[in-house]
Amino acid sequence: MDPSIWGAKTDASTVAEYYHNQIAGKTILITGVSPGSLAAEYVKALAPHGPKLLVLASRNISNFQAVIAPLKEKNPTVSFRPLVVDLASQKSIRKAADEVHSYEESIDVLVNNASLNGMKKYSVTEDEFETAFAVGHLGHFLFTGLIADKLSPKARIVVVSSMMHWMADVNMEDPNFDNGKTYDKDVAYARTKSANIHMIKALARRGFNAVVLHPGVAKTGMMREFTDAEAEKLVEEFNLEFQTNQQASATYVYGSFAPELSDTALNGAFLKDCKVDEAAPFCEVEGVGERLWKASERWVGLEWGSR
Protein backbone atom coordinates (compact mmCIF):
# COMPACT_ATOMS: atom_id res chain seq x y z
CA MET A 1 0.00 0.00 0.00
CA ASP A 2 1.20 3.48 -0.85
CA PRO A 3 1.86 5.53 2.34
CA SER A 4 0.86 8.72 0.53
CA ILE A 5 -2.78 7.61 0.79
CA TRP A 6 -2.60 6.89 4.53
CA GLY A 7 -4.79 9.10 6.67
CA ALA A 8 -7.28 9.17 9.54
CA LYS A 9 -8.93 5.93 8.42
CA THR A 10 -5.72 3.88 8.10
CA ASP A 11 -5.30 1.03 10.60
CA ALA A 12 -2.17 0.47 12.70
CA SER A 13 -1.93 -3.07 11.27
CA THR A 14 -1.72 -1.72 7.69
CA VAL A 15 1.14 0.59 8.65
CA ALA A 16 2.90 -2.18 10.59
CA GLU A 17 2.67 -4.49 7.59
CA TYR A 18 4.41 -1.83 5.49
CA TYR A 19 7.22 -1.40 8.06
CA HIS A 20 7.67 -5.13 8.71
CA ASN A 21 11.42 -4.96 8.05
CA GLN A 22 11.90 -1.99 10.37
CA ILE A 23 9.96 -3.67 13.21
CA ALA A 24 11.64 -7.09 12.98
CA GLY A 25 14.34 -7.58 15.60
CA LYS A 26 13.70 -4.28 17.42
CA THR A 27 13.35 -3.67 21.15
CA ILE A 28 10.47 -1.30 21.83
CA LEU A 29 9.41 0.20 25.14
CA ILE A 30 6.05 1.93 25.48
CA THR A 31 4.48 3.51 28.57
CA GLY A 32 0.78 3.59 29.42
CA VAL A 33 -0.28 0.12 28.33
CA SER A 34 -3.72 -0.88 29.59
CA PRO A 35 -6.52 -2.94 28.08
CA GLY A 36 -8.50 -0.78 25.65
CA SER A 37 -5.74 1.83 25.33
CA LEU A 38 -4.06 3.03 22.14
CA ALA A 39 -0.80 1.54 23.40
CA ALA A 40 -2.42 -1.90 23.57
CA GLU A 41 -3.47 -1.51 19.95
CA TYR A 42 0.07 -0.48 18.95
CA VAL A 43 1.51 -3.57 20.64
CA LYS A 44 -1.08 -5.78 18.91
CA ALA A 45 -0.15 -4.30 15.52
CA LEU A 46 3.61 -4.78 16.04
CA ALA A 47 3.62 -8.29 17.51
CA PRO A 48 3.10 -10.21 14.22
CA HIS A 49 6.15 -8.49 12.66
CA GLY A 50 8.82 -10.11 14.79
CA PRO A 51 10.04 -7.44 17.21
CA LYS A 52 12.71 -8.89 19.47
CA LEU A 53 11.26 -7.52 22.68
CA LEU A 54 8.22 -5.47 23.64
CA VAL A 55 8.56 -3.80 27.04
CA LEU A 56 5.13 -2.73 28.23
CA ALA A 57 5.18 -0.19 31.04
CA SER A 58 2.02 -0.02 33.12
CA ARG A 59 0.94 1.09 36.54
CA ASN A 60 0.36 -2.52 37.56
CA ILE A 61 1.11 -6.01 36.35
CA SER A 62 -2.53 -6.90 35.71
CA ASN A 63 -2.65 -4.30 32.90
CA PHE A 64 0.31 -6.05 31.29
CA GLN A 65 -1.18 -9.51 31.70
CA ALA A 66 -4.54 -8.51 30.22
CA VAL A 67 -2.89 -6.92 27.18
CA ILE A 68 -0.53 -9.76 26.33
CA ALA A 69 -2.95 -12.65 27.05
CA PRO A 70 -4.45 -12.67 23.53
CA LEU A 71 -1.07 -11.96 21.86
CA LYS A 72 1.29 -14.50 23.40
CA GLU A 73 -0.02 -17.60 21.71
CA LYS A 74 -0.31 -15.99 18.27
CA ASN A 75 3.22 -14.55 18.45
CA PRO A 76 5.33 -17.21 20.17
CA THR A 77 8.69 -15.78 19.08
CA VAL A 78 8.09 -12.33 20.56
CA SER A 79 9.25 -11.57 24.11
CA PHE A 80 6.88 -9.43 26.15
CA ARG A 81 8.29 -7.91 29.34
CA PRO A 82 6.41 -5.92 31.97
CA LEU A 83 7.76 -2.77 33.56
CA VAL A 84 5.76 -1.48 36.48
CA VAL A 85 6.01 2.27 36.89
CA ASP A 86 3.87 5.00 38.37
CA LEU A 87 4.79 8.09 36.38
CA ALA A 88 3.23 10.25 39.08
CA SER A 89 6.06 9.24 41.41
CA GLN A 90 9.68 10.22 40.76
CA LYS A 91 10.72 7.48 43.19
CA SER A 92 8.86 4.84 41.17
CA ILE A 93 10.35 6.20 37.92
CA ARG A 94 13.89 5.93 39.32
CA LYS A 95 13.21 2.34 40.36
CA ALA A 96 11.82 1.44 36.92
CA ALA A 97 14.81 3.08 35.22
CA ASP A 98 17.16 0.96 37.36
CA GLU A 99 15.28 -2.09 36.12
CA VAL A 100 15.73 -1.00 32.49
CA HIS A 101 19.45 -0.62 33.18
CA SER A 102 19.57 -4.29 34.15
CA TYR A 103 18.39 -5.36 30.66
CA GLU A 104 20.84 -6.87 28.22
CA GLU A 105 18.99 -5.23 25.31
CA SER A 106 19.27 -1.59 24.27
CA ILE A 107 16.05 0.24 23.49
CA ASP A 108 15.52 0.96 19.78
CA VAL A 109 12.19 2.75 20.08
CA LEU A 110 10.92 4.51 23.21
CA VAL A 111 7.28 5.61 23.11
CA ASN A 112 6.34 8.00 25.90
CA ASN A 113 2.59 7.57 25.71
CA ALA A 114 1.02 7.46 29.18
CA SER A 115 -1.07 10.45 30.12
CA LEU A 116 -4.00 11.57 32.13
CA ASN A 117 -6.62 13.96 31.05
CA GLY A 118 -6.74 16.98 33.25
CA MET A 119 -8.47 15.69 36.38
CA LYS A 120 -11.81 17.31 37.17
CA LYS A 121 -10.55 18.08 40.65
CA TYR A 122 -7.15 19.73 41.11
CA SER A 123 -4.55 17.40 42.59
CA VAL A 124 -0.80 17.22 43.06
CA THR A 125 1.52 14.23 43.11
CA GLU A 126 3.72 13.14 46.01
CA ASP A 127 6.42 15.35 44.42
CA GLU A 128 4.03 18.33 44.62
CA PHE A 129 3.33 18.85 40.91
CA GLU A 130 -0.07 19.17 39.25
CA THR A 131 -0.94 15.57 38.33
CA ALA A 132 -1.53 15.73 34.56
CA PHE A 133 1.71 17.68 34.01
CA ALA A 134 3.64 15.42 36.38
CA VAL A 135 2.58 12.23 34.63
CA GLY A 136 2.43 13.38 31.00
CA HIS A 137 5.52 15.58 30.90
CA LEU A 138 7.76 15.49 33.98
CA GLY A 139 7.44 11.72 34.44
CA HIS A 140 8.53 11.04 30.87
CA PHE A 141 11.23 13.72 31.01
CA LEU A 142 12.79 12.04 34.04
CA PHE A 143 12.34 8.49 32.73
CA THR A 144 13.87 9.32 29.34
CA GLY A 145 16.79 11.11 30.97
CA LEU A 146 17.49 8.21 33.30
CA ILE A 147 17.48 5.62 30.51
CA ALA A 148 19.07 7.79 27.79
CA ASP A 149 22.25 5.72 27.95
CA LYS A 150 20.21 2.53 27.35
CA LEU A 151 18.98 3.86 24.01
CA SER A 152 20.68 2.34 20.99
CA PRO A 153 22.73 4.80 18.90
CA LYS A 154 19.98 5.20 16.27
CA ALA A 155 17.10 4.97 18.71
CA ARG A 156 13.94 6.92 18.11
CA ILE A 157 12.03 8.66 20.88
CA VAL A 158 8.32 9.15 20.23
CA VAL A 159 6.07 11.23 22.46
CA VAL A 160 2.29 11.12 22.24
CA SER A 161 0.79 14.60 22.42
CA SER A 162 -2.63 15.80 21.24
CA MET A 163 -4.26 18.41 19.04
CA MET A 164 -5.58 19.82 22.30
CA HIS A 165 -2.12 21.35 22.82
CA TRP A 166 -3.39 24.26 20.69
CA MET A 167 -5.46 25.40 23.72
CA ALA A 168 -2.50 26.43 25.91
CA ASP A 169 1.28 26.66 26.04
CA VAL A 170 3.35 25.67 29.08
CA ASN A 171 3.43 27.96 32.10
CA MET A 172 6.76 27.65 33.87
CA GLU A 173 6.08 30.47 36.29
CA ASP A 174 2.98 28.82 37.70
CA PRO A 175 2.84 25.09 36.88
CA ASN A 176 0.52 24.47 39.83
CA PHE A 177 -2.22 26.94 38.92
CA ASP A 178 -1.66 29.14 41.96
CA ASN A 179 -2.09 26.10 44.20
CA GLY A 180 -5.18 25.08 42.31
CA LYS A 181 -6.98 28.43 42.60
CA THR A 182 -6.90 29.02 38.82
CA TYR A 183 -7.10 25.34 37.85
CA ASP A 184 -8.80 24.35 34.60
CA LYS A 185 -8.66 20.68 33.59
CA ASP A 186 -8.51 21.32 29.84
CA VAL A 187 -5.75 23.88 30.25
CA ALA A 188 -3.84 21.42 32.46
CA TYR A 189 -4.03 18.78 29.75
CA ALA A 190 -3.16 21.24 26.96
CA ARG A 191 -0.12 22.57 28.83
CA THR A 192 1.12 19.01 29.26
CA LYS A 193 0.64 18.24 25.59
CA SER A 194 2.48 21.44 24.60
CA ALA A 195 5.30 20.43 26.95
CA ASN A 196 5.51 17.11 25.05
CA ILE A 197 6.13 19.01 21.82
CA HIS A 198 8.70 21.36 23.36
CA MET A 199 10.52 18.33 24.79
CA ILE A 200 10.72 16.61 21.39
CA LYS A 201 12.00 19.75 19.66
CA ALA A 202 14.62 20.13 22.41
CA LEU A 203 15.66 16.48 22.06
CA ALA A 204 16.06 16.94 18.29
CA ARG A 205 18.28 19.98 18.96
CA ARG A 206 20.36 17.77 21.25
CA GLY A 207 21.00 15.20 18.52
CA PHE A 208 18.38 12.60 19.47
CA ASN A 209 16.02 11.29 16.80
CA ALA A 210 12.65 12.30 18.19
CA VAL A 211 9.12 12.86 16.92
CA VAL A 212 5.85 13.86 18.55
CA LEU A 213 2.35 12.97 17.43
CA HIS A 214 -1.35 13.46 17.75
CA PRO A 215 -2.74 9.90 17.64
CA GLY A 216 -6.37 10.05 16.69
CA VAL A 217 -9.53 10.45 18.68
CA ALA A 218 -10.90 7.25 20.16
CA LYS A 219 -13.02 6.29 23.13
CA THR A 220 -10.29 4.95 25.40
CA GLY A 221 -9.68 5.42 29.12
CA MET A 222 -8.63 8.97 28.21
CA MET A 223 -12.30 9.89 27.88
CA ARG A 224 -13.14 8.89 31.44
CA GLU A 225 -13.11 12.48 32.68
CA PHE A 226 -15.42 13.62 29.84
CA THR A 227 -19.16 13.25 29.43
CA ASP A 228 -20.19 12.11 25.93
CA ALA A 229 -21.43 15.63 25.20
CA GLU A 230 -18.08 17.18 26.27
CA ALA A 231 -16.16 14.71 24.12
CA GLU A 232 -18.34 15.42 21.07
CA LYS A 233 -17.91 19.17 21.58
CA LEU A 234 -14.12 18.94 21.78
CA VAL A 235 -13.87 16.76 18.70
CA GLU A 236 -15.97 19.28 16.77
CA GLU A 237 -13.93 22.21 18.06
CA PHE A 238 -10.71 20.72 16.66
CA ASN A 239 -12.35 19.64 13.43
CA LEU A 240 -11.65 15.99 14.18
CA GLU A 241 -13.78 12.87 14.14
CA PHE A 242 -13.95 9.75 16.27
CA GLN A 243 -11.85 6.86 15.07
CA THR A 244 -11.46 3.24 16.05
CA ASN A 245 -8.53 2.37 18.34
CA GLN A 246 -6.85 0.70 15.35
CA GLN A 247 -7.07 3.91 13.34
CA ALA A 248 -6.13 6.16 16.24
CA SER A 249 -2.93 4.19 16.85
CA ALA A 250 -1.71 4.07 13.22
CA THR A 251 0.43 7.20 13.62
CA TYR A 252 2.27 5.53 16.54
CA VAL A 253 3.52 2.91 14.10
CA TYR A 254 4.38 5.49 11.44
CA GLY A 255 6.18 7.69 14.00
CA SER A 256 8.14 4.76 15.39
CA PHE A 257 9.34 3.19 12.16
CA ALA A 258 9.16 5.49 9.12
CA PRO A 259 12.83 5.70 8.08
CA GLU A 260 12.52 9.22 6.64
CA LEU A 261 11.79 10.59 10.12
CA SER A 262 15.48 10.06 10.93
CA ASP A 263 16.42 12.70 8.34
CA THR A 264 17.67 15.94 9.84
CA ALA A 265 14.96 17.95 8.08
CA LEU A 266 12.18 15.89 9.69
CA ASN A 267 13.76 15.32 13.10
CA GLY A 268 11.50 16.80 15.80
CA ALA A 269 8.45 16.68 13.52
CA PHE A 270 4.84 16.83 14.70
CA LEU A 271 2.80 14.01 13.13
CA LYS A 272 -0.90 13.43 12.58
CA ASP A 273 -2.76 10.90 10.41
CA CYS A 274 0.54 9.23 9.41
CA LYS A 275 1.95 12.45 7.98
CA VAL A 276 4.01 15.42 9.07
CA ASP A 277 1.67 18.16 10.31
CA GLU A 278 1.89 21.55 12.00
CA ALA A 279 2.09 22.05 15.75
CA ALA A 280 0.95 25.34 17.24
CA PRO A 281 3.52 28.07 16.46
CA PHE A 282 4.10 28.69 20.18
CA CYS A 283 5.56 25.16 20.41
CA GLU A 284 8.22 26.14 17.86
CA VAL A 285 9.69 28.87 20.05
CA GLU A 286 13.16 27.59 20.90
CA GLY A 287 13.64 29.91 23.89
CA VAL A 288 10.49 28.56 25.57
CA GLY A 289 11.52 24.96 24.89
CA GLU A 290 14.97 25.53 26.35
CA ARG A 291 13.57 27.25 29.45
CA LEU A 292 11.19 24.33 29.92
CA TRP A 293 14.10 21.90 29.61
CA LYS A 294 16.05 23.72 32.33
CA ALA A 295 12.99 24.03 34.58
CA SER A 296 12.17 20.33 34.06
CA GLU A 297 15.76 19.39 35.00
CA ARG A 298 15.35 21.38 38.20
CA TRP A 299 11.93 19.92 38.99
CA VAL A 300 13.08 16.30 38.59
CA GLY A 301 16.61 16.76 39.91
CA LEU A 302 18.40 15.43 36.82
CA GLU A 303 20.55 17.27 34.29
CA TRP A 304 20.79 15.41 31.01
CA GLY A 305 20.64 15.74 27.26
CA SER A 306 24.13 15.66 25.86
CA ARG A 307 24.81 12.76 23.50
Ligand X SMILES: NC(=O)c1ccc[n+]([C@@H]2O[C@H](COP(=O)([O-])OP(=O)(O)OC[C@H]3O[C@@H](n4cnc5c(N)ncnc54)[C@H](OP(=O)(O)O)[C@@H]3O)[C@@H](O)[C@H]2O)c1
Q: Would you name the residues annotated as active-site residues?
A: 189
Nearest to ligand X of 93, 204 (CB atom): 93
Query: Binding of ligand X at residue 32 (CB under 6 A)?
Result: yes
Q: Quick one: which of 92, 106, 93, 109 has its CA closest to 42?
A: 109
**What residue is closest to ligand X based on CB?**
221
3-state secondary structure of 255: helix
> What is the secondary structure of 31-100 as a DSSP string?
E---TTSHHHHHHHHHGGG--SEEEEEESSHHHHHHHHHHHHTT-TT-EEEEEE--TT-HHHHHHHHHHH
Query: Binding of ligand X at residue 211 (CB under 6 A)?
Result: no
Indicate which single residue of 23, 30, 45, 116 sits in contact with ligand X (rule: CB under 6 A).
116
The answer to whether 182 and 138 have CB atoms below 8 angstroms apart is: no
Indicate which single residue of 217, 253, 279, 288 sits in contact with ligand X (rule: CB under 6 A).
217
Candidates 13-21, 27-35, 270-278, 279-287 — which segment interacts with ligand X by CB under 6 A? 27-35
Give long-range contacts, CB 8 A cutoff, 24+ apart: 122-131: 122/177, 122/180, 122/183, 124/176, 125/88, 125/89, 126/88, 126/89, 126/91, 127/89, 127/90, 127/299, 128/176, 129/175, 129/176, 129/299, 130/175, 130/176, 130/177, 130/183, 130/188, 131/88
Indicate which single residue of 135, 197, 203, 258 sits in contact with ligand X (rule: CB under 6 A).
135
Indicate which single residue of 10, 14, 34, 144 sits in contact with ligand X (rule: CB under 6 A).
34
Indicate which single residue of 115, 144, 246, 267 sits in contact with ligand X (rule: CB under 6 A).
115
Nearest to ligand X of 15, 218 (CB atom): 218
Query: Binding of ligand X at residue 215 (CB under 6 A)?
Result: yes
DSSP state of 282: G
Nearest distance in Å: CB 70, ligand X: 17
Indicate which single residue of 111, 157, 160, 199 sits in contact with ligand X (rule: CB under 6 A).
160
Q: Find the binding residues for ligand X in span 237-276 (CB under 6 A).
A: none
The answer to whether 145 and 304 have CB atoms below 8 angstroms apart is: yes
Q: Quick one: which of 155, 144, 165 has its CA closest to 87?
A: 144
Give how many residues touch ligand X by CB under 6 A.
28
Indicate which single residue of 86, 108, 130, 273 sits in contact with ligand X (rule: CB under 6 A).
86
Query: Binding of ligand X at residue 218 (CB under 6 A)?
Result: yes
Nearest distance in Å: CB 153, ligand X: 27
Give the binding site for ligand X (CB under 6 A): 32-34, 36-39, 58-59, 63, 85-88, 113-116, 135, 160, 162, 214-215, 217-218, 220-222
